[in-house]
């Protein structure tokens, strides 16, 4: 049964559209369970979660063919509706005797008595129902029921993926029904606020067949030549591999490379690729589709040895793709309003886009607090993260509309929808123009309390937008980003040059430089860290304390860069206790003393600690008395307090920096800072959220650091809301039991001051 499950799921995953996926399901289930009827009912995407939704028969084997697409029933109708309504399986030996049985004429259902239905669920929502029926009255066995339930659970995401892929394929002459489906947005989580139209440029990893986007070729003969060159390069690879292994393995084992070479010359494989290229596909997608086709054939075979040959076909395809990418040189064209799209957009992808051309980001992986989202906010472009069902390969070159407030992506919006989205872009531009007038105004509340507003930056390119919004300094410079865009660790002199530019750009205003914080969702390609749970592993100060050479080099570079400027502040990340802090402070003192011995005039530099680990909250008094300032990293603090991996789309809705537990931790940190007379600032993304800034103001936090794009909005909040009112709101928020209640409380308060446009919601579109 397990092999059968894998085969069916594999067929569905490789299906090119929803219809093919559903046919694979009903055929596979009917054969596996040896039943007379197999059916799939689905809810239209727009009706999922609605009580008036109707389940539509989308695929079937065993009933009248004309029933598909025409038979439907509500959640309160029939046995299929009952399965969906209860969201649990139903196993009946004589279905017509059940009070919820509903006879549907002219489809041939009356001949079947045994009934087994299982709900298709994704993240708690019913998407449809998988049904089998048989002629003779009988109770399906526990094994058969388990098989159907397990299959339904595994198929949910594959069905959604196939449905979305079909929805974004909207050719000329599309029917109104297809257009209405295509108008449904792709969903993710908000990564960076803002709205934008742009053209998708798909980024895909090297040799990743499944990440290859669809593209039309202008010159099929040129694509065929590229394919020939790539195939010959792979042939040479196999010859060299065989030669290098000849002295280490037997001739029989070396013959495996000959088998790969024979597969490379397979006429059917070659013809499949050539046929697709001549039909207009570029070589990489022609290769991808041909490999999928042949791998699926092998996967469907009963013999285990032959099934494994599907892996060989995929391996061969990846090797050809690698050389195709060498041939094409990976030169991408970035249009004036580029929207980067990919399964996982990285920092290096952002750095590759020419300045002024990036309009937005859509990533299948990541969350609102992943590194790319933080950079998007710094660059002032909208981002949608965690769009797990994103049909990446279908989007290259398509016009997209990004809604960073709601985490929605519209593909080539038309008609009334387009007009509404264009109005939204206009309103956003007007709001930005209004906020720009606040650039030189102080961040002072109506009752006279000043708040210091700083910016978070990571690239030198961030400096200009940060300066344009009237920031008072740098509240967080992420030093890991220059490390990430290089191929090796930068040396002390190179680091010192970078830090000098950063410090000089803001002198005499303060600049907080955080020491290297890699690991978790911030890897270095040249220093791989492979762990089962990287967020709880070797990252931040844990890593650099284990490699004091890295830490000392960086601190020396910072101190050297500060000579004559004297605006440096050093921030230590991921401190979980006083032991780590004491060790770090000793190393900083050592670096300072070494440089003084070398003749450099190194003065005393303020050192702070990031409070982002729950244990640090409970040691706040001990930590605060050892440092010059505290900076709260609300992103990681929220993640660790709520036990939520912020990059996991399945639990992303649970990640909430306004959760009452997070707010109470913040209140404790502020109280600890006051007891030690140690100033507290917030540099997490909560500081750049108008709702979050309101509650932080109420806690009495006098310094906030955020992305440059968020600063004007936060300044407007501060200049509009008296501290006395913000304080009452903060205390009321501490009494709330749910994050949604806190959010509603703060949203209502902002609207009462005429600031509703700063926090858009679904109702605004």
Name the residues annotated as catalytic.
371, 683
C-alpha 652: how far from chain center: 10
Q: Tell the residue number behind the tokens 């190194």, with chain if given.
A: 602
CA distances from 346 to 350, 373, 457, 482, 567 (A): 7, 10, 16, 13, 31
Q: How far apart are CA 26 and CA 166, in angstroms?
A: 19
Q: How far apart are CA 621 and CA 672, in angstroms?
A: 5
Look at the chain and count its residues.
Answer: 765
96 close to 135: Cβ distance less than 8 angstroms: no
Nearest to 45 by CA among 157, 101, 127, 116: 127
- End-to-end alpha carbon distance in the chain: 48
Tokens of 663: 């707010």
Q: How far apart are CA 739 and CA 659, in angstroms?
A: 4
Nearest to 680 by CA among 727, 640, 630, 611: 630
Tokens of 490: 């930068």
- Which H or E run contains 474? strand 474-478
Tokens of 360: 């937005």
Please state the φ and ψ torsions of residue 168, each to the nearest 5 degrees: -85, -5
Radius of gyration of the chain measured on its C-alpha atoms: 30
Nearest to 467 by CA among 428, 509, 495: 509
Nearest to 534 by CA among 636, 634, 638: 636
305: helix, strand or coil: helix
167 close to 186: Cβ distance less than 8 angstroms: no
Dihedral sign for Cα atoms in the order 719, 725, 731, 736: negative
Q: How far apart are CA 155 and CA 265, in angstroms?
A: 35
* Partner residues linked to 341 by β-bridges: 202, 362
CA distances from 281 to 164, 216, 273, 391 (A): 21, 5, 9, 17
Tokens of 631: 């900076």
Q: Would you put residue 49 in left (φ > 0), alpha (ψ -120 to 50) or beta?
A: left
Beta strands 189-192 and 195-203 are: unpaired
Q: What is the DSSP string of 491-512?
A: -HHHHHHHHHHHHHHHTTS-EE
What order of strands is seen across the sheet that includes strand 189-192? 186-187, 408-411, 399-403, 195-203, 338-342, 358-363, 383-385, 189-192
The beta-carbon contacts of 55-60 under 8 Å, at least 24 apart in sequence, are 55/80, 55/81, 55/84, 55/128, 55/129, 58/18, 58/22, 58/128, 59/19, 59/22, 59/23, 59/25, 59/26, 60/26
Q: How many CA atoms lie within 13 A of 178 on its CB side?
A: 12
Q: How far apart are CA 278 and CA 221, in angstroms?
A: 8
Tokens of 478: 């992420």
Burial profile 619-641: b = 16 or more Cβ within 10 angstroms, e = fewer:
bbeebbeebebbbbbbbbbbbbb
Count other Cβ atoms within 10 Å, centred on residue 454.
25
Cα dihedral: 259, 261, 263, 269 (round 10): 180
Count other Cβ atoms within 10 Å, centred on residue 416.
9
362 close to 409: Cβ distance less than 8 angstroms: yes
């Amino acid at each position: 049964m397990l092999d059968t499950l894998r085969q069916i799921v594999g067929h569905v995953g490789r299906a090119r559209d929803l219809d093919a996926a559903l046919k694979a399901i009903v055929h596979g289930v009917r054969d596996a369970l040896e039943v007379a009827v197999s059916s799939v009912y689905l809810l239209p995407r727009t009706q999922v979660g609605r009580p008036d939704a109707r389940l539509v028969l989308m695929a079937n084997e065993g009933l009248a063919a004309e029933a598909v697409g025409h038979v439907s029933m509500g959640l309160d109708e029939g046995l299929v509706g009952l399965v969906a309504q209860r969201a649990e399986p139903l196993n009946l030996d004589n279905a017509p005797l059940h009070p919820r049985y509903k006879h549907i004429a002219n489809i041939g259902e009356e001949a079947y008595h045994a009934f087994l239905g299982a709900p298709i669920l994704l993240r708690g929502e019913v998407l449809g129902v998988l049904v089998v029926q048989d002629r003779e009255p009988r109770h399906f066995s526990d094994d058969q029921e388990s098989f159907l339930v397990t299959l339904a659970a595994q198929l949910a995401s594959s069905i959604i993926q196939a449905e979305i892929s079909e929805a974004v394929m909207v050719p000329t002459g599309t029917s109104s029904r297809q257009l209405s489906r295509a108008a449904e947005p792709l969903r993710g989580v908000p990564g960076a606020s803002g709205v934008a139209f742009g053209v998708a440029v798909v980024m895909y990893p090297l040799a990743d067949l499944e990440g290859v986007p669809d593209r039309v070729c202008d010159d099929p003969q040129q694509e065929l030549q590229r394919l020939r060159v790539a195939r010959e390069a792979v042939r040479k690879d196999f010859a060299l591999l065989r030669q290098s292994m000849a002295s280490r393995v037997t001739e029989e084992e070396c013959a495996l490379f000959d088998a790969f070479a024979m597969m490379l010359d397979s006429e059917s494989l070659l013809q499949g690729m050539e046929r697709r290229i001549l039909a207009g596909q570029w070589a990489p997608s022609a290769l991808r589709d041909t490999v999928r086709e042949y791998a699926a054939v092998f996967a469907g075979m009963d013999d285990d040895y032959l099934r494994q040959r599907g892996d060989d076909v995929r391996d061969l395809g990846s090797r050809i793709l690698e050389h195709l990418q060498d041939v094409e040189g990976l030169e991408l064209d970035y249009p004036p309003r580029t929207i980067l799209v990919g399964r996982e957009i990285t920092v290096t992808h952002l750095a590759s886009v020419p300045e002024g051309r990036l309009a937005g980001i859509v990533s299948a992986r990541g969350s609102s607090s992943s590194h790319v989202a933080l950079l998007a906010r710094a660059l002032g472009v909208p981002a949608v993260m965690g769009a797990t069902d994103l049909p990446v390969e279908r989007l290259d070159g398509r016009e997209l509309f990004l809604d960073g407030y709601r985490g929605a992506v519209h593909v080539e919006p038309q008609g009334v929808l387009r007009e509404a989205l264009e109005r939204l872009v206009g309103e956003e531009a007007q709001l930005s123009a209004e906020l720009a007038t606040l650039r030189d105004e102080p961040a002072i509340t109506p009752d006279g309390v000043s708040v210091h507003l700083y910016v978070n930056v990571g690239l030198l390119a961030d400096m200009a937008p940060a300066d344009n919004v009237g920031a008072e300094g740098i509240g967080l410079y992420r030093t890991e980003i220059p490390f990430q865009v290089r191929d090796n660790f930068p040396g002390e002199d190179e680091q010192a040059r970078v830090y000098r530019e950063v410090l000089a750009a803001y002198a005499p205003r303060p600049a907080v430089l955080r020491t290297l914080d890699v690991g978790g969702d911030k890897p270095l390609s040249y220093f791989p860290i492979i762990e089962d749970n990287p967020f709880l592993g070797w990252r931040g100060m844990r890593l650099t304390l284990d490699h004091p050479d890295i830490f000392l080099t960086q601190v020396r570079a910072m101190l050297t860069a500060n000579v004559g400027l004297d605006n440096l502040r050093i921030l230590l990340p991921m401190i979980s206790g006083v032991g780590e802090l004491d060790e770090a402070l000793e190393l900083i003192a050592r670096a300072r003393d070494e440089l003084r011995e070398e003749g450099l005039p190194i003065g005393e530099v303020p050192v702070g600690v990031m409070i982002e680990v729950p244990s640090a909250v409970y040691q706040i008094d001990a930590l605060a008395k050892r440092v010059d300032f505290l900076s709260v990293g609300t992103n990681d603090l929220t993640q660790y307090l709520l036990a939520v991996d912020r990059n996991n789309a399945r639990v992303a809705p649970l990640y909430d920096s306004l959760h009452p537990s997070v707010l109470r931790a913040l209140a404790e940190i502020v109280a600890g800072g006051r007891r030690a007379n140690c100033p507290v600032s917030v540099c997490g993304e909560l500081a750049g959220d108008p709702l979050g800034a309101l509650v932080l103001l109420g806690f009495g936090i006098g310094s906030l650091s955020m992305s440059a794009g968020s600063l004007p909005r936060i300044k407007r909040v501060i200049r509009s809301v008296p501290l006395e009112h913000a304080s009452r709101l903060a205390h009321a928020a501490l009494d709330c039991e749910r994050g949604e209640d806190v959010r509603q409380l703060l949203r209502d308060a902002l609207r009462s001051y005429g600031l509703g446009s700063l926090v858009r919601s679904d109702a605004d579109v």
